[in-house]
């Protein structure tokens, strides 16, 4: 395409140039021809005019001279005087008039001279005839010296000397006279034109100076210098014929080296012809210089046009090239877009494949699920049938029921997961953000997994490092779910004797000072995962397709749900795993710090020793202790601990409390405690720290002299509350020292407590009465509402509301109270419930309650809330 255009351009340029040259050459040639033709024409016209002028001049001259003669005749008429006088007078008169000679022409052709030299006619015959016929005549003759003269004859009958009458009066004039008159012998050498007067036979009558031949025809022949004689003869013949016919003759003849124009006309009153010749030499020069000018102008024009054309071509060429480049770019762009389009299509195809894959995974999952659901379902149906058949056999029925219950649990787990997943997939899962105590979350998680860990004889460890903000804002239910999922997976896939560790760490959050970043790690020494499975562990509907897993129950949705929750919380999950070695999940979550005014946790400035084999835990615990006013040392083993205690004792800087890990390498916690007691007289309180259930080891521990137990995880508050009782005085019932804190005097304030359970009511009553409150008991929501309605305005300061009650629940009661037409309808209502899930709390608040406390009743918390809301 590009080359075609270029070729077209080049060819067309060449063609145009060629055409230009041809046209202009033709023009130049044609104009030259035309101009020379025109010149010839002009020459002819000019020559004709010139000849006419010359001949007219000749005629006038002749006429003049004839008139002169006639005047002589008139002045001296014949017989006016005698011959002698007359001849003398006439002779002198003629001389006066410029004639050379005057003679009387006799009838016999002889001249009788009246004056001047004797003359003779060169060709007497025609002259004589003309005289005889009384015509005027001009002829050429000679004088005595044989010089050429011109004779003019006028008929006149004069008496001659011999008495006869003359035929005519003849005068002679010098030839030069004519030459001058006719300008035939111009002195101007550059004169273009020269003329001759010739007779029919070509002989000269009057010839210009340079004509040396006697005959004009010879002269012509000579002029051709022997070349092109045919043309010369032709011209001569033509000229002769024209003279015979008395017609004017005009011709251009080409002599070697020049061109000449010849023009011939007859002269009146004579047998003569005027031949005028004009050489073209100079004219040719003028014309050719004009032609040259013309040619150069044409060539210049041609060149100009070519230059303009060339420029246009070059410009166009460049333009085209530019367009080509642009076109090329456009093409490239187009190609690029095409590539992009192709890529996009490929992406789309990929996406489609992914979608298809997901779809396939879903259907596979469905078929797996159907199978998974059918298996326990079959068990339930089958076992039910067996139980029915053996209804009398108690043992058999019990066995069947146990199987049925197990299968049902399994089935329920599957269904719950699927429901959760469908909630996620339809985007209906939302987070209920509330204030959450990480300590409570961890405590509850630990207490839930403890039995399972125990059953599988696994080692379980909880490590809390540097947690400064125990209270954060998050969805506790979902956080629980995440932790439980990790831990239950870890327990499920870790063989007996394996180790499971959960670690909680706090760092600064990139989201700002109001946030903390919690790093959660769950690590096990379980079977691990294959690389391929690790890639898609968080995909929905996947489960490692492996026979050993098939023995393990579950939907395979747990991790997907977990991932979704963590994503929703704005966190990340990383997984590291090696088959046969173990798995490690790292979760990073950013939580907003809760705005709770943390209890001012200060303990006496004790010296304490922390013993644990985990150095980080030691450091973290020591710094946590420091923050509540305790000076803490730490060591990593039982042996070192004993050494330290002894050393300190010797320096009389005894430790007030020792925190001792139960599981230590080498000397374990119990042996260490024993060793310390053996070395020391005084009883230093030793507290055991462990993630295990205290109940199992309490007896042994007590015997070893261990005073108490603090359950891991070791949050600051865990440490504070665990150690506080030692600060309050050893053992026996120290009264609570809450009252001094109260900004409000609870004395005499009436509080309505709705609680259906007698025991719970009594506990609450007893605890709260201690604060000085007067409690009234409502057995259910209905009674509570009625009591409030019937009360004096301002009688009750607040309502403490249980949620789960017969007749009317706490939720309904709260709504009803808010709708009451009673001045106290807006009094503070504080929910008390065993359900600490965020959804329940939200429900409480939605029903118009002010706050929520979890059971078991913590007097401090209740007092704090009452204080807060009663103040307003």
8 A C-beta contact, residue 549 and residue 543: yes
Q: Does 834 bind another protein (CB under 8 A)?
A: yes
Closer of 698 and 776 to another protein (Cβ)? 698
What phi and psi, each to the nearest 5 degrees, are found at residue 100? -85, -40
Closer of 274 and 411 to another protein (Cβ)? 411
Tell me whether the omega of the peptide bond preceding residue 663 falls within 30 degrees of 0, making it cis.
no
Q: How far is the CB of 802 from another protein (least distance, A)?
A: 8
- Angle, alpha carbons 290-296-299 (nearest 5°): 140
Show contacts with another protein in window 405-444 (CB under 8 A). Answer: 405-409, 411-412
Query: Which window, 298-306, 615-623, 827-835, 844-852, contacts another protein (CB under 8 A)?
Result: 827-835
Q: Does 451 bind another protein (CB under 8 A)?
A: yes
Q: How far is the CB of 838 from another protein (least distance, A)?
A: 15
Q: How far is the CB of 406 from another protein (least distance, A)?
A: 7
CA 429 to chain centre: 41
Q: Does 762 bind another protein (CB under 8 A)?
A: yes
User: What interhelical angle do 615-627 and 716-727 show, nearest 10?
Assistant: 60
Q: Does 301 bind another protein (CB under 8 A)?
A: no
Q: Does 804 bind another protein (CB under 8 A)?
A: yes
Which residue among 756, 768, 796, 824 contacts another protein (CB under 8 A)? 756
Closer of 200 and 855 to another protein (Cβ)? 855
Query: Which window, 21-29, 490-498, 594-602, 728-736, contacts another protein (CB under 8 A)?
Result: 728-736
* Cα separation, 529 vs 548, whole angstroms: 12
Q: Does 769 bind another protein (CB under 8 A)?
A: no
Query: Which window, 67-75, 231-239, 754-762, 788-796, contacts another protein (CB under 8 A)?
Result: 754-762
R_g over Cα of the chain: 76
Q: Does 758 bind another protein (CB under 8 A)?
A: yes
Q: Does 281 bind another protein (CB under 8 A)?
A: no
* Cα separation, 590 vs 557, whole angstroms: 24
Q: Does 759 bind another protein (CB under 8 A)?
A: yes
Show contacts with another protein in window 679-718 (CB under 8 A). Answer: 694-695, 698-699, 708-709
What phi and psi, each to the nearest 5 degrees, are found at residue 551? -75, -20
Question: How many CA atoms are closer than 13 Å to the CA of 85, on its beta-carbon side?
Answer: 8
Closer of 271 and 756 to another protein (Cβ)? 756
Q: Which residue shows structure tokens 């710090």?
A: 593
Tell me whether the omega of the peptide bond preceding residue 713 falls within 30 degrees of 0, making it cis.
yes
Q: Which residue shows structure tokens 């329940």?
A: 840
Closer of 95 and 859 to another protein (Cβ)? 859
Question: How many CA atoms are closer than 13 Å to the CA of 14, on its beta-carbon side?
Answer: 6
Q: Does 360 bind another protein (CB under 8 A)?
A: no
Q: How far is the CB of 564 from another protein (least distance, A)?
A: 22
Q: Does 293 bind another protein (CB under 8 A)?
A: no
8-state DSSP, 629: T
Paired tokens of 238: 């033509």
Closer of 103 and 723 to another protein (Cβ)? 723
Residue 203's contacts (CB-CB under 8 Å, 6 or more residues apart) are 214, 215, 216
Q: How far is the CB of 599 from another protein (least distance, A)?
A: 14
Q: Which residue shows structure tokens 């111009």?
A: 186
Q: Does 802 bind another protein (CB under 8 A)?
A: yes
Which residue among 763, 787, 815, 845 contacts another protein (CB under 8 A)? 763
Q: Does 90 bind another protein (CB under 8 A)?
A: no
Closer of 146 and 699 to another protein (Cβ)? 699
Closer of 161 and 419 to another protein (Cβ)? 419
Closer of 138 and 380 to another protein (Cβ)? 380
Show contacts with another protein in window 531-590 (CB under 8 A). Answer: none
Which residue among 107, 238, 770, 779 contacts another protein (CB under 8 A)? 770
DSSP H helices, 636-728, are 638-650, 669-679, 694-703, 716-727
8-state DSSP, 188: -
Q: Does 855 bind another protein (CB under 8 A)?
A: yes
Query: Which window, 54-62, 137-145, 231-239, 758-766, contacts another protein (CB under 8 A)?
Result: 758-766
Question: Exposed, middle or buried, 198 (CB in 10 Å: 0-12/13-18/19+)?
Answer: buried
User: What interhelical angle do 175-182 and 2-75 show, nearest 10?
Assistant: 140
8 A C-beta contact, residue 458 and residue 449: no
Q: How far is the CB of 399 from another protein (least distance, A)?
A: 13
Parallel/antiparallel/unpaired status of strands 708-711 and 686-690 = parallel
Closer of 518 and 854 to another protein (Cβ)? 854
* Cα separation, 297 vs 872, whole angstroms: 115
Tell me whether the omega of the peptide bond preceding residue 348 falls within 30 degrees of 0, making it cis.
no
Q: Does 791 bind another protein (CB under 8 A)?
A: no
Closer of 203 and 452 to another protein (Cβ)? 452
C-beta neighbour count of 37 within 10 angstroms: 10
Q: Does 725 bind another protein (CB under 8 A)?
A: yes
Q: Does 857 bind another protein (CB under 8 A)?
A: yes
Q: Does 402 bind another protein (CB under 8 A)?
A: yes
Q: How far is the CB of 762 from another protein (least distance, A)?
A: 7
Q: How far is the CB of 766 from another protein (least distance, A)?
A: 7
Q: Does 858 bind another protein (CB under 8 A)?
A: yes
CA 868 to chain centre: 63
* Cα separation, 616 vs 789, whole angstroms: 59
Closer of 2 and 725 to another protein (Cβ)? 725
Q: Does 453 bind another protein (CB under 8 A)?
A: no
8-state DSSP, 165: B
Residues touching another protein: how many (CB under 8 A)? 50
Q: Which string of x and - marks every residue 7-46 that binds another protein (by CB under 8 A)? A: ----------------------------------------
- Coil/strand/helix, residue 658: strand
Query: Which window, 330-338, 505-513, 617-625, 763-771, contacts another protein (CB under 8 A)?
Result: 763-771
Q: How far is the CB of 482 from another protein (least distance, A)?
A: 18
8-state DSSP, 825: G
Closer of 788 and 854 to another protein (Cβ)? 854
Q: Does 766 bind another protein (CB under 8 A)?
A: yes
Question: How many CA atoms are closer than 13 Å to the CA of 55, on its beta-carbon side?
Answer: 23
What phi and psi, each to the nearest 5 degrees, are found at residue 853? -120, 140
Closer of 655 and 726 to another protein (Cβ)? 726
- Angle, alpha carbons 857-862-866 (nearest 5°): 155
DSSP H helices, 197-280, are 216-223, 229-244
74-98 in b/e form (b: 16+ CB < 10 A) is eebeeeeeebeebbebbbebbeeee
Closer of 87 and 383 to another protein (Cβ)? 383
Q: Does 401 bind another protein (CB under 8 A)?
A: yes
* Cα separation, 143 vs 150, whole angstroms: 10
Q: Does 378 bind another protein (CB under 8 A)?
A: no
* Cα separation, 180 vs 629, whole angstroms: 159
Q: How far is the CB of 809 from another protein (least distance, A)?
A: 9
Closer of 742 and 855 to another protein (Cβ)? 855
8-state DSSP, 824: G
C-beta neighbour count of 828 within 10 angstroms: 21
8 A C-beta contact, residue 798 and residue 870: yes
| Residues at the site binding another protein, with contacts judged by CB under 8 A | 380, 401-402, 404-409, 411-412, 447-448, 451, 694-695, 698-699, 708-709, 721-722, 724-725, 732-733, 735-736, 756-760, 762-763, 766-767, 770, 802, 804-806, 833-835, 855-859
């Amino acid at each position: 395409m590009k080359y075609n255009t270029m070729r077209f351009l080049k060819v067309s340029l060449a063609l145009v140039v060629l055409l230009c040259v041809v046209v202009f050459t033709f023009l130049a040639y044609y104009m030259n021809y035309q101009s020379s033709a025109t010149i010839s024409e002009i020459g002819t016209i000019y020559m004709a005019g010139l000849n006419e002028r010359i001949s007219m001049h000749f005629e006038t001259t002749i006429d003049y001279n004839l008139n002169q003669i006639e005047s002589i005749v008139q002045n001296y008429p014949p017989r006016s005087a005698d011959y002698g006088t007359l001849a003398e007078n006439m002779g002198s008169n003629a001389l006066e008039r410029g004639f050379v000679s005057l003679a009387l022409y006799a009838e016999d052709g002889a001249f009788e001279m009246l004056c001047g030299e004797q003359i003779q006619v060169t060709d007497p015959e025609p002259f004589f005839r003309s005289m005889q016929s009384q015509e005027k005549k001009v002829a050429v003759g000679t004088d005595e010296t044989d010089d050429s003269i011109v004779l003019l004859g006028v008929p006149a009958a004069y008496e001659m000397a011999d008495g006869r009458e003359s035929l005519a009066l003849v005068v002679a004039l010098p030839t030069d006279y004519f030459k001058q008159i006719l300008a035939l012998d111009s002195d101007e050498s550059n004169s273009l034109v020269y003329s001759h007067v010739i007779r029919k036979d070509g002989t000269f009558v009057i010839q210009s100076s340079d004509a040396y031949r006697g005959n004009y025809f010879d002269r012509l022949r000579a002029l051709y210098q022997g070349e092109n004689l045919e043309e010369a003869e032709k011209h001569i013949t033509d000229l002769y014929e024209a003279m015979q016919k008395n017609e004017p003759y005009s011709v251009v003849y080409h002599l070697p080296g020049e061109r000449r124009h010849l023009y011939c006309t007859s002269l009146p009153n004579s047998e003569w012809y005027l031949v005028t010749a004009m050489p073209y030499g100079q004219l040719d020069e003028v014309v050719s210089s004009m032609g040259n000018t013309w040619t150069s102008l044409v060539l210049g024009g041609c060149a100009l046009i070519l230059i303009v054309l060339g420029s246009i071509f070059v410009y166009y060429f460049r333009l085209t090239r530019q367009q080509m480049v642009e076109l090329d770019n456009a093409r490239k762009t187009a190609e690029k877009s095409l590539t992009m389009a192709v890529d996009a299509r490929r992406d789309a195809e990929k996406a489609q494949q992914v979608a298809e894959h997901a779809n396939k995974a879903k259907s596979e999952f469905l078929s797996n699920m159907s199978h998974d659901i059918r298996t326990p379902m079959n068990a339930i149906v089958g076992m039910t049938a067996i139980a029915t058949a053996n209804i009398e056999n108690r043992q058999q029925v019990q066995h069947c029921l146990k199987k049925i219950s197990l299968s049902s649990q399994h089935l329920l787990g599957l269904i719950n997961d699927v429901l959760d997943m469908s909630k996620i997939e339809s985007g209906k899962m939302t987070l209920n953000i509330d204030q959450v105590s990480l300590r409570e979350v961890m405590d509850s998680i630990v207490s839930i997994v403890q039995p399972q860990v125990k059953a599988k004889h696994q080692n379980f460890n909880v490590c809390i490092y540097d947690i400064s903000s125990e209270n954060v804002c998050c969805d506790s239910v979902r956080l629980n779910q995440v932790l439980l999922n990790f831990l239950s997976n870890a327990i499920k896939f870790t063989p007996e004797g394996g180790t499971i560790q959960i670690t909680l760490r706090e760092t600064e959050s990139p989201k700002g000072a109001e946030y903390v970043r919690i790093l959660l790690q769950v690590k096990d020494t379980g079977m691990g995962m294959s690389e391929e499975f690790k890639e898609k562990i968080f995909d929905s509907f996947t489960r490692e397709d492996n026979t050993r897993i098939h023995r393990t129950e579950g939907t395979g949705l747990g991790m997907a749900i977990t991932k979704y929750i963590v994503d929703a919380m704005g966190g990340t999950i990383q997984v590291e795993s090696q088959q046969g070695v173990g798995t490690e999940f790292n979760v990073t979550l950013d939580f907003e710090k809760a705005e709770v005014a943390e209890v001012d946790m200060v303990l006496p400035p004790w010296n304490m020793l922390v013993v644990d084999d985990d150095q980080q835990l030691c450091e973290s615990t020591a710094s946590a202790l420091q923050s509540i006013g305790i000076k803490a040392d730490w060591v990593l083993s039982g042996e070192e601990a004993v050494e330290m205690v002894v050393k300190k004792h010797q320096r009389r800087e005894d430790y007030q409390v020792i925190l001792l890990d139960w599981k230590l390498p080498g000397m374990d916690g119990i042996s260490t405690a024993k060793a310390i007691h053996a070395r020391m007289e005084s009883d230093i309180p030793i507290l055991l720290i462990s993630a295990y259930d205290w109940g199992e080891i309490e007896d042994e521990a007590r015997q070893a002299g261990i005073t108490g137990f603090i359950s891991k995880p070791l949050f600051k508050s865990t440490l504070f509350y665990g150690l506080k009782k030692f600060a309050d005085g050893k053992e026996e019932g120290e009264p609570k020292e809450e009252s001094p804190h109260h900004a409000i005097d609870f004395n005499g304030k009436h509080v309505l407590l709705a609680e259906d359970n007698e025991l719970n009511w009594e506990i609450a009553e007893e605890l709260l009465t201690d604060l000085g409150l007067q409690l009234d008991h409502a057995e259910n929501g209905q009674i509570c509402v009625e009591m409030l309605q019937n009360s004096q305005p301002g009688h009750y300061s607040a309502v403490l509301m249980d949620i789960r009650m017969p007749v009317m629940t706490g939720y309904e009661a709260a709504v009803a109270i808010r709708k009451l037409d009673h001045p106290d309808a807006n009094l503070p209502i504080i929910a008390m419930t065993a359900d600490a899930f965020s959804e329940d709390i939200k429900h409480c608040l939605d029903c118009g309650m002010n706050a929520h406390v979890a059971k078991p009743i913590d007097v401090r918390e209740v007092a704090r809330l009452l204080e807060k809301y009663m103040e307003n």
